Every structure is written in C-alpha cells, then in structure tokens.
Chain A
Amino acid sequence: MANVSRSPWLLHYDGSSCNGCDIEVLACLTPVYDAERFGVVNTGNPMHADILLITGGINSQNASVVEQIYNQMPNPKVVCAVGTCACTGGVFKECYNIKGGADTVIPVDIYVPGCAARPQSIIDGIVQAVALFQKKHEEMKSEKK
C-alpha cells in the first residue's frame, strides 16, 4: 500500500468568513509553523487538492461553489472545516442568508473549532485529516480489488 500521507495538498476555500480564520490558515504556512515540513502544499486548484479546508459559513451564494469545488476534487479526498463558522455557522448563524456550517452542503470529516481557530489547532486538524486521507486511500484500494 502506497504511503500517500506524506504529500497532502490543500485547497483553502473562504466561505463567508470574517477573514479571521483565513489569516490563521495562512499563518500555518509561515516560518513559525511551516506546514510544508509535512509536505503540505497550498494549491489553488481543486483538481490537484487532497484536503479541502473551508473557513466561514455557507450562504446561499457560495453553496453551489462549494459543492462544485468538492466535486472537482479527485478521490480520495478529505474535508476539514476550520473555525466555528465553518463548523456550525458561528456568530453568523442567525443571519437571513446563512445556511449554517460547511456540512449543510458537503460531507465534512474533520471539525476544527475556535474563533478564530488557532494555527496549532489547524495544524492538528490537518494532521488528523492526513491520517484520514491515508485511511480513505486504503479503503479505495481494497474496494478496487
């Protein structure tokens, strides 16, 4: 079984986030945290991505976008909701246009709580997502056999 967990490529999608969580996601790539030491690459292309990081809630405008991005990612793939907004809708939950967390439109695997989520917990979320990525890959392989 090939080890795919050494090369998780991320796609970061900003839903209706206040940008607080986005800044923390980007902070993970800076010299202090350097997520690239785990092989993480922040790609902008869903077709190259293995892990989808969503920040912010889902509103009626971006619901179809999130769905499309998810469908464009080749299997195996993992979705990680970063921040309280992406988990549940957070402080924007009651707004007229907000549907709720990312799991209202696509299946979410990992939830990283926090407002804003700290880089440490985001990296922890990524590490868990990577383990799940490997597991999904193995399941996919054994299904094929």
Chain B
Amino acid sequence: MATKQFIFVLLYIVCAPFIGGFLDGVDRKVSARMQGRKGPSVFQPFYDVIKLFQKEPLVVKRSQTFLVMTYLLFMVITGGLFFAGMDLLLCFFSLTTCAMFLVLAASFTHSPYASVGCQRELVQMMAYEPMVLLTAVGFYVATGTFYVKDIIGMDMSAIVYLPGVFIGFLFILTIKMRKSPFDLSTAHHAHQEIVRGVTQEMVGSNLALIHLAEWYETVFLLGVVAMFFVNSNPVSYVAALIVVLLAYFLEILIDNVSARVNWKVLLVSTWVVTLVAGGVNLTILVLMHR
C-alpha cells in the first residue's frame, strides 16, 4: 500500500504541471473557438512559462520570491497529501495556507493594484471557505471517514449521498479557477481587473512559479471533483474522468458567457448556494443517519 501511495504522489508531482498546463491550453483554445477566433496552440501555456523564466528578474523585494516559492511548495504538498490518500481536512487546510502565502506575496510590495487584488482575494476566501469545509464534513457524514483512500474505497460513490455538496463545490470551483464571473482578485487569461490584481508585481520567474502552482491546483481541484464519483469499482474511475472533463468544460463555458460581478454579489451568491445546496444536503444526511 505504501509503495502504491508513493507512486501516486510521485506521479502527481511529475505529471500535474503537464496535465494542468495542457488543460490550460485546451481552455484557451476552446475559449477562442467559442469567441469565433482561431486561438493559440494548446501548448501556449508552456511557451508562456518558458518565456517567463527567461525574463530579467525584476523584483521590488527579494523575499517575495521566497513567499511565492512557499506558495508553490504548499500547493504541491496539498495535492501530494490528497493523492497519497491522506486526510481530506488536512488537504483543505493546506490549501488555505497556500492562499494565505499568495496574499502575503502579493501584498508585500505595497503596490496599490496588488493591494486591491489582495483584499479581493481575501473576500473570495471568505466566500468559498465555508463550502470547502462543508465538502470535507459532507464526505465524513456520508462515508464515516476523512481519509481519501477510504472514501474512494467505498462500495457506493459519494455523489449518491452528496449531490447538493457537489453542486456547491462546482460553484466555488469557478472562484478557485479564477473564472468569470468570479475573477475579482486576478483573472485567468488576458482579462484585466484592477490590471492584474494579486499577480501585479510578480515578474518573470515569480509569475512562472505562480502559473505552475495554479496548474498543480487545477489537478488537485479536479481530483476532488473526481472523488465524488470514484468507488471500489474500477468502472467508476472512467465515469469520474468523464465528469471531470465535463466539469472543466462547464467552467470554460461559464467563463465565456458571463460578465464579472462585484464582490457583494460574489459573497452573497456563494453563501446562499453553500447554505441551500450544501446545508440542506448535509441536514438530510444527518437526519437519515439518526
């Protein structure tokens, strides 16, 4: 078992940047097609990152690089814990730590644009954090364990018990992936909001590291989506893969058909969805278990 876990973690650390980057490229291609454009190559994100590593390192404060690296490191740890089948709560706490390091790195330079980005990032965290916790709690109530390896080893997929939580999680996925209408702190693609928000002062290799971390994050988040569907039956893995791809496509579609909202709408809508979809789902589960 231990070697199997080790292989999974190693696979994650090595492959996640490639999978995440490729998905990002597909995203740009599909978005361009939706807008009637030809779009860049699907490998464009890799070209971008290679270019960024070649640029002159122009940093206002050197320690920013350290914070950015810590952000990346915690992101790798988050996914590592998850793919090792460890405690889901631990993964989510580690994910929150990542976000804090990003905010620290961004607010470090006192750039007004980055500061506004940071404040919005904090508002976003406030919006999605309850749903993240409810997701972990939901898995516990449905399966009796926080351990990822036990959750995916059940006879029945968790989605059967947690359809509401799944909808809630998809909702905050839009925030986590920095997609319109919820891309307040910094936008994916070339969209601008308060210029580049939290990544405003990240230059060259620092920005490249942020991209890398985002690719790791994408794979981790899609992993959580898959966890709703995976059970002890191998066929469920195929189903999970299909659902993950569909969820990713849904995010691209939402990104392209919606306009950015302000932070109040973001906060209220996320909490309402959390309460209604997640809360009601959990209440029913708890009552049934009685």
> Are A34 and B192 neighbours in the complex by a CB distance under 8 Å?
no
8 more A-B residue pairs beyond the given contacts A2-B50, A31-B35, A36-B190, with a C-beta to C-beta distance below 8 A: A3-B47, A4-B51, A7-B52, A9-B48, A31-B37, A37-B40, A39-B40, A74-B58
Shortest Cβ gap from B200 to chain A (Å): 6
Which residues of A are interface residues toward B (Cβ below 8 A)?
Answer: 2-4, 6-7, 9, 30-31, 34, 36-39, 41-45, 47-48, 50, 72, 74-76, 137, 140-141
Q: B40: which A residues are within 8 A, CB to CB?
A: 36-39
> Are B203 and A34 neighbours in the complex by a CB distance under 8 Å?
no
> Are A39 and B54 neighbours in the complex by a CB distance under 8 Å?
no
> Are B51 and A44 neighbours in the complex by a CB distance under 8 Å?
no
Known A74-B55, A74-B56; contact A39-B47, beta-carbon cutoff 8 A: yes
Q: B38: which A residues are within 8 A, CB to CB?
A: 34, 37
> Are B50 and A4 neighbours in the complex by a CB distance under 8 Å?
yes
Q: A45: which B residues are within 8 A, CB to CB?
A: 195-196, 200
Instruction: Kindly state the interface size class of chain B when it binds its partner.
Output: 20 to 34
Q: A30: which B residues are within 8 A, CB to CB?
A: 37
Count A-B pairs with CB separation below 8 Å: 83
Looking across the interface, which residue of chain A has its beta carbon closest to that of B38?
A: A37
B223 within 8 Å of A (CB atoms):
no
Shortest Cβ gap from B290 to chain A (Å): 55
Distance of A76 Cα from B55 Cα, bound (Å): 7
Distance of A6 Cα from B54 Cα, bound (Å): 13
Q: A48: which B residues are within 8 A, CB to CB?
A: 196, 199, 203, 207
> Are A137 and B200 neighbours in the complex by a CB distance under 8 Å?
no
Distance of A50 Cα from B199 Cα, bound (Å): 16
> Are A44 and B192 neighbours in the complex by a CB distance under 8 Å?
yes
B163 within 8 Å of A (CB atoms):
no
Distance of A6 Cα from B56 Cα, bound (Å): 17
Known A2-B51, A7-B48, A74-B204; contact A44-B196, beta-carbon cutoff 8 A: yes
> Are B200 and A7 neighbours in the complex by a CB distance under 8 Å?
no
Distance of A3 Cα from B51 Cα, bound (Å): 7
Shortest Cβ gap from B272 to chain A (Å): 32
Say which residue of B39, B44, B55 sits within 8 Å of A75 (CB atoms). B55
Q: B189: which A residues are within 8 A, CB to CB?
A: 41
| CB-defined A-B contacts under 8 Å, sample of 8 | A34-B32, A37-B37, A37-B38, A39-B48, A42-B190, A45-B196, A74-B55, A76-B55
Q: A50: which B residues are within 8 A, CB to CB?
A: 51, 55
Task: Name the residue among B41, B44, B189 with the largest chain A CB count within 10 angstroms.
Answer: B44
